[in-house]
Structure 1
Amino acid sequence: MTSAARTTPADAGSRVIMEIDGAVAYVTLNRPDKLNGIDLDTIDELIAAATTLQQNTEIRAVVLQGKGRSFCAGLDFASAFQDKKRVARYFFAGPRTVNRFQRVNQVWRELPVPVIAVVQGHCYGAGLQLASCADFRFTTRDATWSILEAKWGLVPDMAGTVPFSELLPADVLMRLAMTGEQISGERAAELGLATEASPDPLAAALELVEQIAQRSPDSVAATKRLVYGTRRGGLRATYRLERRLQSAMFKARNTAIARKAGTAKQTPVFGPRTFG
């Protein structure tokens, strides 16, 4: 990856800080005094950050993290429910769309680059759903994870049920979702809910970014779409999507760069992403 100066937003007091350092975008929850609890403004800022990154063809990965001692302790009910009319607008959606509470997490799955959550401290409720909608989750061993909705008499939501059901066997998911049981980051990794537990999850995440950055940004974007696009489809739809994406890769400029470098046994130097 090429390096560049880190760019920082003008408003460092935002609930979400987005910085770009070379080819990596860092999206940081910035409410450390609230353990990065998510309120309605945080939802808006997270969606805005993802929308901005969607248009950036130079970045190769996104790191989602929380400032301070916690990744995210969940939804900040006290703050969010001060405006009940706004909550209602965010919750209710048409039958063919997602609501805004779901959109804030689903949007990270739609980005054409790998999204990696770096978890420390608390990863509860809405925070766990945000992490689960990242493509990878690196955590400290002593972090605490919980599908916390059971404590409030609720079911998992905010788009978390889709990745939860992909990552966990049904009985494990039901146990965690029915009890709100708290588990360590190490246990989350053992169950497959986290990708890896590490003493330094950010370093582990960036090591993965370095590996991925050695491959064509177009094939990486197409692979992400292929994996998510075929999780629940039938065979015909799966194979159709596979053919369509491979056809796009045959035509991509970065594919030619990869093929030429591979033949010459050289390190490829890719151009900007052209897919996704």
Structure 2
Amino acid sequence: MTDYHDILVRPLAGDERITEIVLNRPDRKNAYTQRLCDELCDALREFDRSAVTRVVVLTGAGDAFCSGGDVQSQEEIERGEAHPFGHGLVMRDTGHAVVRSLLAVAKPVVAAINGAAVAGGLTFALACDLRIARRGARLGDTSGRLGLLPDEGGAWFFPRAMGLEAALRMSLLGEVYDAADAQRLGLVGEVVPDEEFAEAVRSLAVRLADAAPLSASVVKRLMRGAADMTLDQSLDALGMAVDVVNRSEDVAEGVDAFLHRRPPSFQGR
């Protein structure tokens, strides 16, 4: 497994089917830089190519998930000033690259929100498939407090997650919510007590790892693509997908397990 500087990559609780990626800049609340983003994108590509791992859990070291871009990084500031369109190019190669990489992963991705997920950190979480947060976590958009924009994709993700008015209120007022309010607003799917967080994350990841890999990948593609389709287009895409999936060994295994009242053992074939 590749050694990285700003992230940690390891099996979760010793389960080789589950890859845990930890943003590892706790002294900076896991604020991202070019190096962190490059490493994260590389790790996501490696995960997606793996024949062993089925689920990735993205989380943060210390008491934060991710606080967005590192606005104090002198290297990032100089990169942004070095070109007439430098700030846009920096965003393309950092936050935008991570969002695209997360969305491109064919396997399930879980955001385990262990602490603050704000600004670009919230966008990273929303680019994952499922979000689980500990009760002490806080989520919101603080970019406007600095006169910045929700430029990691927040302008696209936030209204889709919580509705336009709620998204505008969050970004225009720089609001940050506790985990319970974030769940009510649609930013996170599950909130658990702090002391139960690690086990709840593990349990969710194991359930996803036990699911049929081929089906999970196709469901992701169909549901994400459906947002830009009419119902007829979605039904046509589903019909073609069914032709492939229903002939798979996993479906035969699932049906046989159901008929014989035993747990299925899916192999992704």
Normalised by the size of structure 2, how large is the TM-score? 0.88
Structure 2: distance between partners of 1:214 and 1:52:
20
Counterpart among 68, 78, 98 of residue 74 in structure 1: 68
- Bigger proportion of residues as helix: 2
Structure 1: distance between partners of 2:156 and 2:247:
32
Normalised by the size of structure 1, how large is the TM-score? 0.86
* Unaligned runs of at least 5 residues, structure 2: none
Deviation at 1:223, TM superposition (A): 0.9
Question: What does 1:1-276 align with in structure 2 at a 5 Å threshold?
Answer: 9-11=2-4, 14-20=5-11, 21-79=15-73, 80-84=76-80, 85=82, 91-92=88-89, 99-100=92-93, 101-199=95-193, 200-271=196-267, 273-274=268-269
Cα separation, partners in 2 of 1:86 and 1:108, compared to 1, 3 Å:
farther
Asked if the contact 1:229/1:241 (under 8 Å) is kept, the reply is no
Count of aligned residue pairs for this structure pair:
260
Asked if the contact 1:9/1:19 (under 8 Å) is kept, the reply is no
Structure 2: distance between partners of 1:68 and 1:225:
33
Structure 2: distance between partners of 1:70 and 1:106:
22
Of residues 209-218 and 165-174 in structure 1, the stretch that sits farther from structure 2 once superposed is 209-218
Asked if the contact 2:144/2:172 (under 8 Å) is kept, the reply is yes
For residues 44-91 of structure 1, give each alpha carbon's deviation from its aligned partner in whole angstroms, at most 9, with x where no partner exists: 111111111110132221110111111111110221223234895683
The one-letter code sitting in structure 2 at the alignment partner of 1:170 is L
Deviation at 1:205, TM superposition (A): 2.3
Structure 2: distance between partners of 1:202 and 1:60:
19
Asked if the contact 1:32/1:70 (under 8 Å) is kept, the reply is yes
* Unaligned runs of at least 5 residues, structure 1: 1-7
Structure 1: distance between partners of 2:259 and 2:119:
48
SS of aligned partner of 1:150: helix
The one-letter code sitting in structure 2 at the alignment partner of 1:225 is R
Structure 2: distance between partners of 1:198 and 1:167:
20
Structure 1: distance between partners of 2:240 and 2:78:
47
Structure 2: distance between partners of 1:248 and 1:164:
34
